[in-house]
Amino acid sequence: MKMKWAMEIIQGCRGMKPEDDDDNNFEVSGPKHMSNPDWANEEDWRCIAACLVKATSVMEKNEALAPPWWESFGFSRNKKLKIDSTSTVTYGAIFEMTGPSRCAPKYVVALRGTIRSCPQLMKDLMQDILVLFNNLEGSDRFNRTRSDVDHLTSNLGSGSVWLAGHSLGASMALGIGRDLMLDKGRNVPTILFNPPHVSPARLINKLLSEEHKTLLYTLSSKVKFGLAKILPPYDDRTKEEFQKLAPWVPELYVNPDDKICRGHIEYFVQWELVHARHPRSAETAARVSYRDMFFFFFSNKSQPHLLPSARLWTSSTTKEEAHKLRQWWKPGTDLALTNKLYAYPLD
């Protein structure tokens, strides 16, 4: 399943047509409905966050077209995030708000997804593989970005710094937000567009009806419940981690037709359905993964990746747009956008 998921990413990279300059031109492709942005309004901060993330990919494709993607919302580029110390290629940027704006963050750390036309494409693909095996936290790119966010939040407080990312960048933002919440109790607002979720959800959706799918997840929750009781140290560790993470509620923007992030929808929806009938096993299953248990059993180390809480925003666009960042700076009415808060523990 993992190898198939990886091949789909690589094949998509090869088959994707290059974007033309209109796609990167803010005047042509940017949002048209935001004359006076209101940071207290979800639609506005979603669109701005998506534009800032877009800026980080435009920086690589056509630097001359990049500034309007942040300057239009009162930001300056504080720092480029380079893939290594010897390269000019970037994977993100830190944007700083230049003037007073109610409810706006002082800094936004924006992280792009994989760029198929990037001269360092293989380095992006190596990061994708680390996501696949839940080992992104071990990369130099991740650690340097985490250090930057740690520095900013230690000086300004977590609410003044936002994390935002798309696809690969969303995985990195999610990991950094989770780490800072676990290690230092810093609740950093985190906005994730199409965050990858490695799971068999796509295959299960193809093979099973909704009723049989819920039966499968119910059986799996009971198996996880039993295995967790066999490994008390692992059970205790995941319980403690979920309790620490619960107040952190990242904003997850997903599309049901996006096979890369579809697993997030199934995770939360099935968790709630199973919890309605089997609350004890569902509570345990939500924080337990077979992959994580495997690593813990052989190394006494866990690689946590599951979320106890999140606000799940779901859009309905064409399948061609399902994994595209540009859908997220459209008005909510164009997306038929719905949302639901999942908070641990479920009531």
Q: What is the pLDDT of residues 23-45, one digit of tens each?
A: 999 999 999 888 788 898 999 99
Token pair, residue 58, equals 């435009």
Token pair, residue 147, equals 């250090």
Q: What is the pLDDT of residue 347?
A: 62
Of 83, 30, 84, whose CA–CA distance to 58 is shortest?
30
State how far the Cα of 231 lies from the Cα of 241, in Å rounded to an integer: 16
State how far the Cα of 221 lies from the Cα of 281, in Å rounded to an integer: 6
What mean pLDDT is predicted for residues 286-302? 80
What does the pLDDT look like over 134-188, one tens digit per residue?
A: 788 889 999 999 999 999 999 999 899 999 999 999 999 999 999 999 999 999 9
The whole-chain average pLDDT of the chain stands at 87
Please indicate, yes or no, whether the overall pTM of this predicted structure exceeds 0.95: no
Token pair, residue 73, equals 């919302």
